[in-house]
Amino acid sequence: MTAVVKAERHLDRIAFLCTPTVEGTAAREALAARYESVAAEEADVIVALGGDGFMLQTLHRFMGTGKPIYGMNRGSVGFLMNDFSVFNLPERLAVAEASFVHPLLMEVIDRDGASSRARAINEVSLLRQSYQAAKMRISIDGQERLDQLAGDGVLVATPVGSTAYNLSAHGPILPLDAPMLALTPLSAFRPRGWRGALLPDRARVTIDILEAEKRPVSAVADHFELRHVHQVSVAMDHETDLILLHDPGHSLNERILREQFGY
């Protein structure tokens, strides 16, 4: 579940972080020249200057700290970001709306029997590593639901991530406050007509890789990848909050709603 509320906190100490590009560096220098800044560890709020990829990196870096992230677009798409301006930053922060979201927790067992964990804000995706289609068995909360999915892979997306890779794979857009996950196939060959499923966000998705040595599969949680996986479990981590700040009228919930109407 995701909540959108007014930011009711003191955001006096600001840290500016930027993507290592000409645009990001210039934006950071312009803001630091106008406003007093502190080290990220001492900050009340992190201002991230870049694109959506940099915003995801920043959210991962400060996951579990409780620090809100206010992004300003110095990248390309900027779906998660606010418009960039050097003016009136304290006033914008004071009235910003806070979206509280939860990441996915991915738990993996690889071909050597080793286990690993990683979190994803957008999606966990399983992808074939070779020219052959991947074959997977899908269970929900311990009950087998699909004995074999053959194709390029499958992904589990949060509402935040439903407009990213999930949407490109023709998965559904989820409202930000919908207590749901999207389970979306990637180029499904068998069953060809399967379009995926909508799941409650308390569900645990377990994916077993069939013929794993012959048809190797990698698992990706946002930008973290593990190869030659044999089993992957995915569930929403309700104990971990991420806080994104957006200007009034441009909240993440509003942006996701607009995406459904093509603007």
166 is in an annotated binding site: yes
pLDDT at position 70 is: 98
Q: Which of 88-92, 224-228, 255-259 has the lowest mean pLDDT?
A: 255-259
**Is residue 52 annotated as a catalytic residue, yes or no?**
yes
Q: Which residues face 117 on adjacent strands? A: 107
Say how far apart CA 170 and CA 162 lie, in whole Å: 10
Q: What is the pLDDT of residues 106-143, one digit of tens each?
A: 999 999 999 999 999 999 999 999 999 999 999 999 99
Residue 35 vs residues 7, 25, 27, 186, 245: alpha-carbon distances, Å: 20, 15, 12, 46, 18
123 known member of a binding site: yes
Among residues 235, 233, 216, 205, which one has the least CA distance to residue 111? 216
User: 210 by DSSP, 3-state: which?
Assistant: strand
Contact 243, 67 (CB under 8 A): yes
Asked if residue 21 belongs to a known ligand binding site, the reply is no
Q: Cis omega (within 30 of 0) on the bond before 191?
A: yes
* Residue 152 counted as an annotated binding residue: yes
Which of 52, 201, 222, 241 is the catalytic position?
A: 52
Burial bucket for residue 8 (CB in 10 Å: 0-12, 13-18, 19+): exposed
DSSP lists the bridge partners of residue 207 as: 138, 232
Give the C-alpha separation, 133 to 70, whole Å. 41
Domains of the chain: 3-102+241-259 (3.40.50.10330), 104-236 (2.60.200.30)
pLDDT category at 7 given cuts 50, 70, 90 is very low
Element (H, E) at 99: strand 97-101
158 assigned binding-site residue: no
Query: In sequence order, which residues have a C-beta less than 8 Å from that of residue 87 and are 6 or more positions away?
Result: none
167 is in an annotated binding site: yes
Is residue 252 pLDDT above 90, yes or no?
A: no
Angle at 221 between CA 218 and CA 227, to 5 degrees: 20
Whether residue 240 has pLDDT greater than 50? yes
pLDDT digits (tens, 9 = 90+) for 11-42: 889 999 999 999 999 999 999 999 999 999 99
Q: Which residues pair with 198 in a beta bridge?
A: 182
* Contact criterion met (CB below 8 Å) for 232 and 106: yes
pLDDT at res. 1: 45
